[in-house]
Structure 1
Amino acid sequence: MRLVILGAGESGVGTALLGKKEGYEVFVSDFGSISEKYQKILNEEKIEWEQQQHTESKILNADVVVKSPGIPDKAPIVKKLHEKGIKVISEIEFVYQFAKNTSIAITGSNGKTTTTMLTYHLLKQEGLNVGLAGNIGESYAKQVAIDPEKLFVLELSSFQLDGNIDYNPHIAIITNISPDHLDRYEYKYENYIASKFRITMNQTEEDYLIYDADDEAINNWLKNNQTKAQLVPFSLTKKFEKGAYLEDNNIIAMINNEKITVPVAEIAIEGKHNVKNAMAATLVAQMMRVRKQTIRESLSNFQNAEHRLEKVAKINKVQYINDSKATNVNATYFALESMNTPTVWIVGGVDKGNDYDELMTFVHEKVKAIICLGIDNTKIINAFSPIVDLIVEASSMEEAVKLASKASEEGDTVLLSPACASFDLFTSYEDRGTQFKNEVQKL
């Protein structure tokens, strides 16, 4: 069997290692350049590869093709594969047939990284043999090649779900849905929503779908479509016999008539959205028979992901917060919602069809100045100039942080929460967040 892998990043190289272990003839092709680290791994394993080109004669003879989630379906080589009827799948779809244990899969427009890390943390603290993969950490393929017995907690983006055909997680979570990546979905919100719900399409009556029952897009989908999975909702406003809800500032989670109570005040991560993330993770932990004591302890000692509402430093009594991972409007909505001091907001980057209307109330209430950090800031300036007096543009992180420091005074917060992708001025949201932290330390 010939396995061709398009894209030689973390997931592509991991898939190559697993493919070789499982006896496939493997070829890796990347239209960009392959980093030296990955070239070395492929060479050591004697796996054939190419970069900066796609040689059709070596690709169109594949039995199966695994493509990187970053490569769109409209890429010429993918179109040719489809025309020839060659199966093009995701890393997740390829790997899951070799994993010996069930998996827990988490998707959503926002909150999926925190919920994935929190779920992993809860299961690990209980001593389960658990792995963390998908859109986060080391590749799922590479980890299954090493230990196929592990129980995996997978963070899945809509792009990863698009390549799934038979993949079936035992427990699926949809944290929320808001417009994102619409450029990949013909600018149709319903296409993006359908993509998220691919997480449950192969689930059976023995599986579970945990979801935010306060989310309009999720509720509408469930009203009009069917899943075989058992539905397990969580909410800040409604109560359930099976699911999680709030009562007197406690999270109550009920599964199989077993109840656990966790005071919101004891959760390590702040903000309403994180109460929901904690609800989802708690429900998984209960399903996996984690002890109540472990659940409570783990929720109180959890450390969130870097670049997600990360407190960087307090300088001249101004708090600097790095939320570079907020690459869409909805993520920034949660960030602004959790601010309780006057805020200098650093925003901007590559706009993915953003609509800033939903931020207006928070911006009006909390934001005293805006620093635009992007090549084209017209849309942001037009949206917010009627309600924010001070809006300035910066062309580098150094300039943005200096301007923010000038615009802030004792008791304020400077928040980097861009609501946009980072590729105009930075290599990634991590690069953007790291530069922010470095510039803050220089103040």
Structure 2
Amino acid sequence: MKNQEINISNKISNNIGSKKLVVLGGGESGVGTAILGKQKGYEVFVSDKGEIAEKYKEVLLHNNIDFEEKQHSETRILKADVVMKSPGIPDNVALVVKLRENNIPVISEMEFTQQFTNATIIGITGSNGKTTTTLLTHHILKNAGLDIGIAGNIGDSFALQVANENRKNYVLEISSFQLDGIEKFNSHIAILTNITPDHLDRYDYDFNKYIASKFRITKNQKETDYFIYDADDEAINNWLKKNKTKAKLVPFSLKKELSFGAYLKDETIIININKENIHMPLSTLSIKGKHNTKNAMAATMAAQLLKVRKETIKESLASFEGAEHRLEKVAKIKDVEYINDSKATNVNATFYALECMDKQTVWIVGGVDKGNDYTDLLPLVREKVKAIVCLGLDNDKIKNTFSNVVDIIVETAGAEEAVKVSEKLSERGDAVLLSPACASFDLFENYEDRGRQFKKAVRNL
């Protein structure tokens, strides 16, 4: 978040009048939305039930934006014309229910912001792979010379960027929670990487509700827009059989040859979506693993649809460094590889990580369970995992699932302890993998904090 004062009077482009914008949540998306809202002529009030971080408080004070923390002044909030809700606030909290009962629109940052930009949007969602695909798409488009921003769940908020620079193109990583708050928002190119059970605690433990949330990314697409999706994904295919989207379908697959789209043949990615076919041997990709092959397919097709030259695409795929906290190689100590996959906050992400392991692995797992079913991991754990180190406050489900296939299961209460125990359990030639399959909020601020603490502990060995 840049601590800079916005010249409000010079930048008001829409005559909003003095509509009241209430922003629930004083984090990255909330403060960015507040700045953009004030710039566009709204009367803005930020309300956070918790404590607002000092860096965000400074920005609000610097821009003379009214705010409160550690409470919600309900009477004032219910006078709003529109409310932007932070994605971390569930839809079923009493205040949000009351706002909707009073017919006050409760929208996401994406919905609020798009009305103030004419940029081409590449919107990316999915249970797994969306961060890597977003970073990779941005990397290719930036190398191609496009005026491109990256936002959503990455970096500065979308709203703040539109307030400050308003680029011609944006790649947005969009969560299901953000999609739940859209009505008119649209991506010219929408990418759905996959759908596997995740965040079910926010969707009444109903997988179909979560699937419907993900497909909101194509809700407002037109015939001139594109929907890139994983044609191997059962949940996606089932939805497409029963529902329609106006967008042109652009599939990718590792399992079948496609007459239109991207597929894998003889260890080579083949992309056939316009007159210029692309052939890329897997050996030329900087990121490895089946899931990353799919991420590369999706990003490449998005770039092709925006008329990027295939030489630029190939060079970008070879030079891309990958996402922090996603199968990130931290160090090799006494011939043991330490890998930070803290971003694996669900079972499917951990499945990908274990699938990539080509060494006997000490697996650090655990945290806040979001309704996980670990049974899909059993074959991989049986084959590759020599010991499990639990990193969470409630490890019963992990112990019950894996005690019959792994002899050694140890419970720890912090990153430093988990790393020290893992060092003792590992031998030369092994790997230590932090891939928690769970959220991090029991012991850490977020998955980044968990990953950073893990890396610090490894480097202190």
Cα distance, 1:242 vs. partner?
A: 1.6
Question: What is the alpha-carbon distance in structure 2 between the residues aligned to residue 190 and residue 100 of structure 1?
Answer: 33
Alignment of 1:197 with 2:215, yes or no, is yes
2:373 maps to which residue?
A: 355
Quick one: which amino acid aligns to residue 132 of structure 2?
T
Contact 1:235-1:245 within 8 A present in 2 as well: yes
Does structure 2 conserve the Cα–Cα contact (< 8 Å) formed by 1:242 and 1:257? Answer: no
Compare 250-259 and 364-373 and name the one that shifted more: 250-259
Higher mean displacement: 390-399 or 151-160: 390-399
Whether the aligned pair in 2 keeps the contact of 1:177 and 1:218 (CA below 8 Å) is: yes
Query: 1:438 is matched with which residue?
Result: 456
Query: For residue 70 of structure 1, what is the aligned residue in structure 2?
Result: 88
Q: 1:285 is matched with which residue?
A: 303
Matched residue type, 2:268: N
Q: Displacement of 1:354 after TM fit?
A: 0.4
Match of 1:371 in 2: 389
**Counterpart residue type for residue 457 of structure 2:** E
Higher deviation after alignment, 272-281 or 426-435: 426-435
Per the alignment, residue 243 of structure 2 pairs with 225
Cα distance, 1:150 vs structure 2: 2.6
User: Which residue number in structure 1 is paired with residue 25 of structure 2?
Assistant: 7
Give the TM-score taking structure 1 as reference length: 0.99
Of residues 327, 338, 341, the one that matches 1:323 is 341
Aligned equivalents of 2:202, 2:323: Cα separation in 1: 26
* Alignment check: 8 A CA contact 2:149 2:167 kept: no
In structure 2, what residue type is equivalent to 1:250? T
Aligned pairs for 1:43-442 within 5 A: 43-442=61-460
- Paired positions, count: 443
**Offset at 1:334?**
0.2
Are the equivalent residues in 2 in contact too, given 1:203–1:229 (CA < 8 A)? yes
How much has 1:109 moved relative to structure 2? Answer: 0.2
Q: Distance in 1 between matches of 2:110 and 2:104?
A: 18
3-state SS of paired residue (1:406): helix
Quote the residue 1:28 is aligned against: 46
The answer (yes or no) to whether the contact 1:18–1:141 under 8 Å persists in 2 is yes
- Checking the alignment, whether the CA contact within 8 Å between 2:252 and 2:298 is kept in structure 1 is yes
Q: Distance in 2 between matches of 1:330 and 1:428?
A: 19
| In structure 1, C-alpha distance between the alignment counterparts of 2:316 and 2:114, rounded to whole Å | 28
Runs of 4+ in 1 over 3 A off after TM superposition: none
* Letter aligned with residue 249 of structure 2: L
The answer to whether the 8 A contact 2:148-2:167 is kept is: no
Q: Distance in 2 between matches of 1:304 and 1:149?
A: 24
CA distance in 2, matches of 1:79, 1:314: 51
SS at structure 1 position matched to 2:171: strand
Q: CA deviation at 1:74?
A: 1.1
- The sequence identity of aligned pairs, in percent, is 66
In 1, distance between residues paired with 2:261 and 2:420? 47
Alpha-carbon displacement from aligned partner over 1:275-321 (angstroms, at most 9, x marks no partner): 00000000001001111111001000001111110000000100000
TM-score of the superposition, structure 2-length normalised?
Answer: 0.95
Question: Is this contact kept in 2: 1:144–1:150, CA < 8 A?
Answer: no
Q: Secondary structure at the match of 2:421?
A: helix
1:147: Cα distance to partner?
A: 2.1
Q: 1:158 deviation in Å?
A: 0.3
2: CA distance between counterparts of 1:23 and 1:442? 51
Aligned residue type for 1:181: H
Q: One-letter code of the match for 1:239?
A: E
What does the per-residue CA deviation read over 1:111-170, in whole Å, with 9 as the maximum and x for residues that have no partner? 000000000000000010000001111100000111224300000000000000011110
Taking the aligned partners of 1:373 and 1:332, their CA distance within structure 2 comes to 14
The CA distance in 2 between the partners of 1:441 and 1:3, in whole Å, is 46
